[in-house]
Amino acid sequence: MSQSWNVTLLQCDVVLGDPERNRANVRRVVERLAGAEEKTDVLLLPELWDTGYDLVRLDEIADVDGKQAKHVLSEAARQLNAYVIGGSVAERIGDRVYNTTFVFDRSGELIKRYAKVHLFRLMEEEKYVTPGDAAGLYEIDGQPVGAVICYDIRFPEWIRTYALKGTKVLFVSAEWPHPRLDHWRQLLIARAIENQMYVVACNRVGDDRKSTFCGHSMVVNPWGQIIAEGLQKEELVKATIDLRLVDEVRGIIPVFSDRRTALYDLQS
């Protein structure tokens, strides 16, 4: 059971409303990674890397049952012999569209689907997308991890449910825009500290018609220390994480056993 992973965050621009070009871009990056000397154990993509926030056209461009994205991501996982956390894509199921993460194991098998639970009203996401209703919990090499998407990180009670299930690494895919770069960085650090877990977060860069996206994809350790961070440009952000540090930190400061849940009202 491996406890040390090389993680790679694909911080890229997204061509608004053009899934074919975006899929081709992901394939090119994977080809480059496959030829690199340093191998990747986990590849993470940003939110809505296939369409961007072209919400008004989702009826036309959403990926039916996620078939096109699944093919690209499964192929990438096999090519890299790595877990691929497929950011998120616009997935059509029947007459509904979801903002969905697909996770593939090293053999290219789909092991998890997570649909974004908290939809971002500031970008009118709730008008075009159906929210998910289940957590994104799964395992990598026998270790408990989880996936969330962008706005989800503003809900500490949601992320705490992951930690209480034993999650050691939280993977975050996002299209986080300016002027809220400070929020992005501070929320990721806070989620890592309060839950004593790694937070591995991939954001996009570039512009669409309404927003400029701020990049700064990050890997934060359970002490809240940033061990890797991108700039506001297309790049691969890489880090090595050691999950034994999670157990160490949780042993030093026993946050979970010191909780007084009888006093907490999470219903209001």
Marked catalytic residue, from 12, 70, 112, 150? 150
Residue 243 in domain: yes
| Closest listed residue to residue 205, CA positions, set 224, 184, 190, 226 | 184
Q: Please say if 116 is a catalytic residue.
A: yes
- What is the domain range of residue 211? 4-263
User: H/E element holding 33?
Assistant: helix 19-34
The runs of H, that is alpha helices, within 83-179 are 156-164
Helices then strands, counting H and E runs in the chain, come out as 6, 16
Q: What pLDDT sits at residue 268?
A: 56
268 found inside a domain: no
Whether 64 is covered by a domain: the verdict is yes
Phi, psi (5° rounding) for residue 266? -100, 10
Catalytic residue among 91, 116, 125, 214: 116
**Considering its fold, how many domains does the chain have in total?**
1
Quickly count: other Cβ atoms within 10 Å of residue 264's Cβ: 9
| 207-260 per-position pLDDT tens digit | 998 899 999 999 999 999 999 999 999 999 999 999 999 999 999 999 999 999
Asked whether residue 31 is assigned to any structural domain, the reply reads yes
pLDDT at residue 255, as a whole number: 96
What is the Cα–Cα distance from 23 to 40, expressed in whole angstroms?
A: 20
CATH of the domain at 94: 3.60.110.10
Q: Judge whether 163 lies within some domain.
A: yes
150 given a catalytic annotation: yes
Give pLDDT tens digits for 93-136. Answer: 999 999 999 999 999 999 999 999 999 999 999 999 999 999 99
Angle between helices 156-164 and 181-195 (to 10 degrees): 30
pTM of the model: 0.97
Three-state DSSP at 109 gives coil
Per residue in 117-151, is it b (16+ CB within 10 Å) or e — as a string?
bbbbeebebeebbbebeebbbbbbbebbbbbbbbb
DSSP state of 69: H
Does residue 233 fall inside a structural domain? yes
Residue 37: active-site member: no
H-run or E-run covering 28: helix 19-34
